[in-house]
Amino acid sequence: MNRSLRLTSRWRLATFAALMLTSAWAQALVFAINEGVTYRVSNDEIRSRYAAIAADLSKLLKQPVTLEPIGHYPTLRQGLADKAYDIALVHPAHLSIAAMKHSGYRLVAVAKGFEKYQANFLVRADSPLKSLADLKGKHLGAPDEDSITSWMVRATLRDVQIDSKALQMTYTRYQDAVPFFVENHLTHAGATAANSVIKDWQAKGGKVLAQSKAVPIKHVIAGSSISPEQVLALREYFTTLDASEEGRKKLEPSKLRGFAAHDEPAMMALGQWLGLY
């Protein structure tokens, strides 16, 4: 074979290899990660947190898995509606429940330690308010309007026949800003689900007026591109991650304790309570 033919042959082989590699990555599964609107974390840090888990999923599903951090709720909502993500770890329960209701996603698991997420209504120690019903016509501070906490707040108010329009609402991006409103008489009460914020509030003598129903948050969901058999394999993987030292090391960067299976119909019932449908 002359030099020209050898070069041509090598070029064809290189082109074929490149096409095969491109084809493989074109079929890569997208694993969307959302850690909530109230967290201050860069996309690169999020990718590093879940890199080991994504590598495991690539082996488990026999396809490359790419991580896509999504911090913007409207972008996440649209992506789920468009079925753009094959797998997603979603902090705001209302978005994952809506995706299960309308876009064919299935519940794989929920994060341990977040199964009983509750909105707490904070008031000052000297507040005259005695119950949620007393909030009617008052001023309430709460996290981002589209956060799962604020969806829980509005649902809880509906339970006591208070429309959120019947009181003045002030929303803030970060939950740790809520106590500032109450302390400085900017609002009559404030709502948060952040345990650290609640504990700090009570340690300083503040009171918790009421709590919402518990809602499991931080869901792993799978899209229609994932087969029922793969969903079962994913559930087995996530719910056993914390059972070994190796798995716990992979969880450690995410600051999650592990995952547990959860009843999907019960989750959908919570979606109805939240007012999603």
More confident residue, 54 or 41: 54
pLDDT digits (tens, 9 = 90+) for 136-163: 999 999 999 999 999 999 999 999 999 8
CA 61, 66, 72, 75 dihedral sign is negative
DSSP single-letter state for residue 117: B
H or E segment and range at residue 99: helix 93-102
Look up residue 12 and give its amino acid. R
Provide the pLDDT for residue 18: 47
Q: Under a CB-based contact definition with an 8 Å cutoff, are residues 138 and 168 in contact? A: yes
Measured CA to CA, the distance from residue 171 to residue 174 in angstroms comes to 9
Provide the pLDDT for residue 198: 97
Cα torsion at 59, 223, 36, 45 (round to 10°)?
30
Looking at domain 3-115+216-274, which of 3.20.80.10, 3.40.190.10, 3.40.50.300, 3.40.50.10320 is its CATH number? Answer: 3.40.190.10
At residue 103, φ and ψ (nearest 5 deg) are -125, 15
Total length of the chain: 277
Q: Tokens standing for 130?
A: 């005695």
Per-residue pLDDT for 10 more than 80? no
- Can you give the residue ranges of every domain in the chain? 3-115+216-274, 120-211
pTM of the model: 0.86
The torsion region of residue 218 among left (phi > 0), alpha (psi -120 to 50) and beta comes to left
- Say if 3-115+216-274 and 120-211 have the same CATH topology: yes
Per the listing, tokens 């504990």 go with 199
CATH topology of domain 120-211: D-Maltodextrin-Binding Protein; domain 2 (3.40.190)
pLDDT digits (tens, 9 = 90+) for 73-124: 999 999 999 999 999 999 999 999 999 999 999 999 999 999 999 999 999 9
Q: What percent of the chain has pLDDT over 70?
A: 89
- 157-193 b/e with 16+ CB inside 10 Å = b? beeeebebeebebeebeebebbbebbeeeebbbbbbb
Measured CA to CA, the distance from residue 49 to residue 52 in angstroms comes to 8
Provide the pLDDT for residue 22: 45
